[in-house]
Structure 1
Amino acid sequence: MRIAIAQNNYIVGDIQHNLELIKASLAKAEKAGAELLVLSELSLSAYPPEDLLLRSDLYWLIDSALEELRQLNSKVALVVGHPEKVGDKLFNSASLIHKGQLLACYRKQLLPNYSVFDEKRYFTPGDKDCVVTINGVKVGILICEDLWFPEPSAACKAAGAEIIVSPNASPYYFGKGHRREEEIGARAGENQVPILYVNQIGGQDELLFDGASIAYDANGDTIFVANEFEEDFVLFEFDNIHNTLVTERSTSVQLHDEAEIWQALVLGTRDYIHKNGMTGALLGLSGGIDSAVTLAIAVDALGAENVNAVMMPFKYTASMSIEDATAEAQALGIEFDIISIEPMYNAFMAQLEDKFKGTKPNVTEQNIQARARGVLLMALSNKFGRIVLTTGNKSEVAVGYCTLYGDMCGGFNPLKDVPKTLVYKLAEYRNTISPVIPERVITRAPSAELAPDQKDEDNLPPYEILDPILEAYVEQDKSIAEIVALGFDEAVVRRVIWLVDINEHKRRQSAPGVRISSRAFGRDRRYPITSGYGRQFK
């Protein structure tokens, strides 16, 4: 049997757009002589549709699309994912359509309800296996989570499956590919049955889907991995007599470390902007490392002609910052402006003079600088229709080293889940492609430049210490005692955790950003704003 897989970039809720992608893939499969085409999980609605699933009109569109696919009367059997409503129950389903007939409909049995997943909020679990004979081959269908546990695949094999095809919507985080290969490969080896694992690609709000669809032989060995962060279409030959699955195409070269993360950030940024109907981006370019990396991501995602930046100096801004921001803009070929915030700041201070009389300058005056910049950026955004990209990294967002309605002002944050130490590595990686970030931006001490001779380390531990503490607390949920046992000073650990806990209100109001870690702020890590939990450990 000749089997095709299509790794497409769908848009959540845009049923017509997704239908056209599916029809194009089906036409390609027909031309290639495929007998079976497998798509990703919920391919008609795209994943995750969230509370769109609660709308009754969604199912009129889904049913109409399924009927259109049926009426194509294709000789290629099609496995297409979609939400299915039966009475008052809703299922995560995959239908098999062949020669104008709906031959089977499999309903996902294991519903993930952890991390970024909340399928039990919507779906009812299925309770039946699905093995269908297509052109003499017994094909089993399982959906995503079903393959992460032994029972569904064992039952599928027991029901006679000679090969298992699996539609998936598996969100990306760094290192996820290795976990997939090990876990799903184990299912193939346990049952001595080849598995085709088909993933979607593309950004969806904070989630990113990396594709990297995988083929396993009957021993559980990975024989093919599709392109990462790109649409892909691959043909396989399955020989059920000899229990072999092969493809003529060589496996895609897999990206590693910073290159992988860079492509993830670029795709997530591009899709958020394009799928929301925008074409261009705007950001404040400070001459620092974070804005430099954000600018390079934006240009790689959108093209230089669709990105512009503005440097907004104040009396504390170093001349090297203006020089380096200008050099970055010139290297990337973007539109660039310099607009001083000093007149705006002075106007604010003049209006507040009576109210502030008798008080000493503190963080208030620093925040007014940041908010003046936010006003400028949002005015330019409104006037010229470009989304503002914020530039705060995960380390800053975690401890609240950012200003609400100031440098947090904007619509999307590419670095939201990128720790500061990784920002530096990404800068060095991007410079291996083309030199766009001046060396002294990478080597100089980081500073918000909101006060004379200010350095980040005046307020925070060095990032080499801060980042591992944050990883242990935020991503691994370790306690104070467990983090101290890793070799960190207890007073530093307690202060960092206190900063994380008291700044939840800022993160709730922050822009969405690309998720690249196994525990990101946002839909992944959900903590109460009002909480006395940390007081018990002081």
Structure 2
Amino acid sequence: MGIYRIGTATVNQTPLDWTNNIFQLKKALNEAQNEGIEILCLPELSVTAYGCEDLFLSQWLPEKAKSFLPELIAETKGLFTSFNLPLFFENRLYNCAVVVHDQKILGVYAKQYMALDGVHYEPRWFNPWPIGKVSEIEIDGANYPIGDLTFDFKDWKIGFEICEDAWRGTIRPAHRLCEKEVNLILNPSASHFAMEKTLQRIDLVKNSSKDFKCTYVYSNLLGNEAGRMIYDGEMMIAQNGELILRNELLSFQPHQVIWADVNSDGNTQPQNISPIDAKEIEFPKAAGLALYDYLRKSRSNGYALSLSGGADSATCAVLVAEMVKRAIGTLGQSTFLKSINRLDLEGKSQKEIVGEIFATAYQGSTNSSDDTLNAAQELANSIGATFYHWTIDRAVENYTSTIETALNRELDWETDDITLQNIQARSRSPIIWMLANIKNRVLLTTSNRSEGSVGYATMDGDTSGSLAPISSVDKVFIRKWLAYAEEHLGYTGLAKINSLAPTAELRPKDQHQTDEDDLMPYPILLAIEQLAIRDHQSPKEVFANLKNKGLEDENLLKDHIIKFYKLWSRNQWKRERLAPAFHLDEFNVDPRTWCRFPILSAGFVEELKEL
């Protein structure tokens, strides 16, 4: 028995970016060797990137990934590790770990369980490897064992669980590995970020080390790999039910390597355990990293935003400012500017850099208030964003007079309320798109999850844009977080916005429009949404779960549940057209990543009658 330096690494990869992907893996390998690491765990599918989607169905992509194995294996002198990539075997595709020691392939572990919940669709691309099966695979002219394997390395008997393998309870591979007296389990993962999800992972890693009497090593991917999913780069080592090592999550660095000196007899003391971030801290770290990766990987010149003076657009604005602050703080100004191809900004202040890459516009109308104009301008000025101000009344009047002439009648608010609201939102879209096009910016949309659930948005209006950074986050959290950002993150420019009630400002001022009057109180909406959408409950079940919580009068609660289900059902077509979104919370309503629902349905008619 002895002390072994065991490491875990994370890399920020991109589909089809072979040069970067291989470079980052080599950097991690070289750093591990320089640190004297003997065993290194790398993330799942880190050769190709996890987010290749239907490219995994091609013949050429897995073959190309395999072609990089020789140059990667050449970098493993003195190292035990695995290179994680898709491999064809007997005309079927498997998610594999090619296990290597000291520049030689030992064998291939193939993932046994596929993720098919929430954001995952792995069975579309990969096949589960049969439990207990071992075969032979040819790689570069030589045959190696493939399948349900373990590996010997000095005092260690090593087994693998690849991500979803570890989340299968009583049928997970670790049970069988324990029976084989495996004392070290490596877990290469591609586990998407969600706020507070780390708590589940920490429990998994700690309990696995205790339940299976082993040292358990975990490595997750890092960054906004392919547009929607964010990976937090979490790395952990646990032994005897206790964490030995855990890193700080959501780094802007392209790769990270950490290690611990682990005693194979099980008496290792904890080393360098980073604290767990609160949800309010995780949110800007994750969204800031996602915006940074999206900006550099899309090769855009910055961001554009219609800044309304409301909570949602303010959140998007602050997140862009956080991106710049965190990138400069982590990478240094020169590296950050080089990564986004803006070395011409070197030497400028943080606020000046924000102004050069972030354009905002307040698009007022006769129904807008001075309160929201002043709130938007104050926030933009406080973070350094370029701020424009124009009105849309002339465009609205042109559209309105055209349809009035065609219909031979005047429009009025009593008869044409939704139409007159929508034309204002839609009139804002073309001009902000022009600004984004002229400046080569990614146009941000500001929809949140609460609005997405009930369709409280104008299609081709406030939904117009390239990217929806907060559409998986509920309005209750957003409002709380803005207060936190003002008080604890130094965004004093949020003061006016935080004092205002959320409103679309689309009706005449004398109607005193607010979002919660149009919909229902946001905490009620959130409570219904969590049960109805996240937990897939019927209207009766939702009512049964909420009626004794004292949220509101039971009859009013029934009315709000009915309203929610009706609005949810009739607005699926809107959710189908929402801009690509970051997955930030435990669930979202994007049918392309989490929640699929028929565009046409009976709309819970029978179920609402039962309620």
Q: TM (normalized to structure 1)?
A: 0.95
Partner of 2:330: none
Partner of 1:161: 182
Q: 1:12-49: per-residue Cα shift (whole Å, max 9, x none)? A: 33232111100000110111111122100011011132
> Is the Cα–Cα contact under 8 Å of residues 205 and 236 in structure 2 kept in the other structure?
no
Shift of 1:367: 1.1
**1: CA distance, partners of 2:575 / 2:521:** 22
In the alignment, structure 1 residue 401 sits paired with structure 2 residue 460: no
Q: In the alignment, residue 125 of structure 2 is paired with which amino acid?
A: Y
Q: In the alignment, residue 530 of structure 1 is paired with which amino acid?
A: L
In the alignment, structure 1 residue 180 sits paired with structure 2 residue 201: yes
Deviates more, 1:427-436 or 1:162-171: 427-436
Partner of 1:15: 18
Partner of 1:125: 128
Question: Counterparts of 1:380-529 in structure 2 under 5 Å?
Answer: 380-431=435-486, 432-453=488-509, 454-485=513-544, 486-487=546-547, 489-522=557-590, 523-529=593-599
> Is the Cα–Cα contact under 8 Å of residues 129 and 159 in structure 1 kept in the other structure?
no
**2: CA distance, partners of 1:338 / 1:296:** 19
Shift of 1:146: 1.6
**2: CA distance, partners of 1:484 / 1:221:** 41
In the alignment, structure 1 residue 71 sits paired with structure 2 residue 92: no
> Is the Cα–Cα contact under 8 Å of residues 95 and 105 in structure 1 kept in the other structure?
yes
> Is the Cα–Cα contact under 8 Å of residues 8 and 236 in structure 2 kept in the other structure?
no
Query: Secondary structure of 1:165's match?
Result: strand
Task: Flag the 1:435–1:73 CA change in 2: closer, same or farther, 3 A.
Answer: closer
> Is the Cα–Cα contact under 8 Å of residues 131 and 160 in structure 1 kept in the other structure?
no
Question: Counterparts of 1:355-366 in structure 2 under 5 Å?
Answer: 355-358=406-409, 360-361=411-412, 362=416, 363-366=418-421
Q: In the alignment, residue 594 of structure 2 is paired with which amino acid?
A: D
Shift of 1:113: 1.6
State which of 209, 217, 222 in structure 2 corresponds to 1:201.
Answer: 222
Q: 1:397-455: per-residue Cα shift (whole Å, max 9, x none)? A: 11111100000000111110111111111111211211344323112221111111322
**2: CA distance, partners of 1:189 / 1:496:** 45
Task: Flag the 1:443–1:186 CA change in 2: closer, same or farther, 3 A.
Answer: same
State which of 309, 319, 324 in structure 1 corresponds to 2:370.
Answer: 319
> Is the Cα–Cα contact under 8 Å of residues 13 and 52 in structure 1 kept in the other structure?
no
Query: Secondary structure of 2:68's match?
Result: helix
In the alignment, structure 1 residue 237 sits paired with structure 2 residue 261: yes
Shift of 1:246: 5.0
Shift of 1:245: 4.4
Unaligned 5+ runs, structure 2 = 132-146, 325-352, 548-553
Deviates more, 1:149-158 or 1:170-179: 149-158
**1: CA distance, partners of 2:441 / 2:485:** 24
Q: In the alignment, residue 354 of structure 1 is paired with which amino acid?
A: T
Deviates more, 1:368-377 or 1:11-20: 11-20
Shift of 1:266: 1.8
> Is the Cα–Cα contact under 8 Å of residues 394 and 416 in structure 1 kept in the other structure?
yes
**2: CA distance, partners of 1:159 / 1:251:** 30
Query: Secondary structure of 1:369's match?
Result: helix
> Is the Cα–Cα contact under 8 Å of residues 243 and 270 in structure 2 kept in the other structure?
no
Task: Flag the 1:440–1:335 CA change in 2: closer, same or farther, 3 A.
Answer: closer
Q: In the alignment, residue 420 of structure 2 is paired with which amino acid?
A: E
**1: CA distance, partners of 2:102 / 2:236:** 27
Partner of 1:152: 173
Q: In the alignment, residue 233 of structure 1 is paired with which amino acid?
A: V
> Is the Cα–Cα contact under 8 Å of residues 171 and 209 in structure 1 kept in the other structure?
yes
Q: 1:157-202: per-residue Cα shift (whole Å, max 9, x none)? A: 3334221111011112223111122233322212211100111121
Q: In the alignment, residue 239 of structure 1 is paired with which amino acid?
A: N
Partner of 1:138: 157
Q: In the alignment, residue 481 of structure 1 is paired with which amino acid?
A: K
> Is the Cα–Cα contact under 8 Å of residues 269 and 514 in structure 1 kept in the other structure?
no
Query: Secondary structure of 1:373's match?
Result: helix
In the alignment, structure 1 residue 284 sits paired with structure 2 residue 340: no
Partner of 2:338: none
Shift of 1:268: 2.2
Shift of 1:382: 1.5
**2: CA distance, partners of 1:107 / 1:382:** 46
> Is the Cα–Cα contact under 8 Å of residues 236 and 246 in structure 1 kept in the other structure?
no
> Is the Cα–Cα contact under 8 Å of residues 116 and 524 in structure 1 kept in the other structure?
yes
Query: Secondary structure of 1:421's match?
Result: helix
Deviates more, 1:316-325 or 1:294-303: 294-303
Deviates more, 1:267-276 or 1:376-385: 267-276
> Is the Cα–Cα contact under 8 Å of residues 30 and 75 in structure 2 kept in the other structure?
no
Shift of 1:317: 0.8
**1: CA distance, partners of 2:268 / 2:93:** 34
State which of 267, 274, 278 in structure 1 corresponds to 2:289.
Answer: 267
**2: CA distance, partners of 1:458 / 1:502:** 20
Partner of 1:537: 607
State which of 201, 204, 210 in structure 2 corresponds to 1:189.
Answer: 210
Shift of 1:61: 1.9
Query: Secondary structure of 2:364's match?
Result: coil
Unaligned 5+ runs, structure 1 = none
Deviates more, 1:290-299 or 1:69-78: 69-78
> Is the Cα–Cα contact under 8 Å of residues 210 and 264 in structure 1 kept in the other structure?
yes
**2: CA distance, partners of 1:429 / 1:169:** 30
Q: 1:340-395: per-residue Cα shift (whole Å, max 9, x none)? A: 11222222223223124325432112211111111111111122110110011111
In the alignment, structure 1 residue 41 sits paired with structure 2 residue 51: no
Task: Flag the 1:279–1:96 CA change in 2: closer, same or farther, 3 A.
Answer: farther
> Is the Cα–Cα contact under 8 Å of residues 9 and 235 in structure 2 kept in the other structure?
no
> Is the Cα–Cα contact under 8 Å of residues 111 and 145 in structure 1 kept in the other structure?
yes
**1: CA distance, partners of 2:292 / 2:31:** 26
Q: In the alignment, residue 187 of structure 1 is paired with which amino acid?
A: S
Q: In the alignment, residue 408 of structure 1 is paired with which amino acid?
A: T
Task: Flag the 1:464–1:136 CA change in 2: closer, same or farther, 3 A.
Answer: closer
> Is the Cα–Cα contact under 8 Å of residues 394 and 419 in structure 1 kept in the other structure?
yes
Partner of 2:400: 349
Q: In the alignment, residue 79 of structure 1 is paired with which amino acid?
A: S
Identity %: 27
> Is the Cα–Cα contact under 8 Å of residues 162 and 243 in structure 1 kept in the other structure?
no
**2: CA distance, partners of 1:474 / 1:357:** 44
> Is the Cα–Cα contact under 8 Å of residues 115 and 519 in structure 1 kept in the other structure?
yes
State which of 167, 191, 196 in structure 2 corresponds to 1:170.
Answer: 191
Query: Secondary structure of 2:379's match?
Result: helix
**Number of aligned residues:** 535
Task: Flag the 1:155–1:364 CA change in 2: closer, same or farther, 3 A.
Answer: same
> Is the Cα–Cα contact under 8 Å of residues 130 and 156 in structure 1 kept in the other structure?
no
State which of 318, 322, 342 in structure 2 corresponds to 1:300.
Answer: 322
Q: In the alignment, residue 381 of structure 1 is paired with which amino acid?
A: A
Q: TM (normalized to structure 2)?
A: 0.84
Query: Secondary structure of 1:326's match?
Result: helix
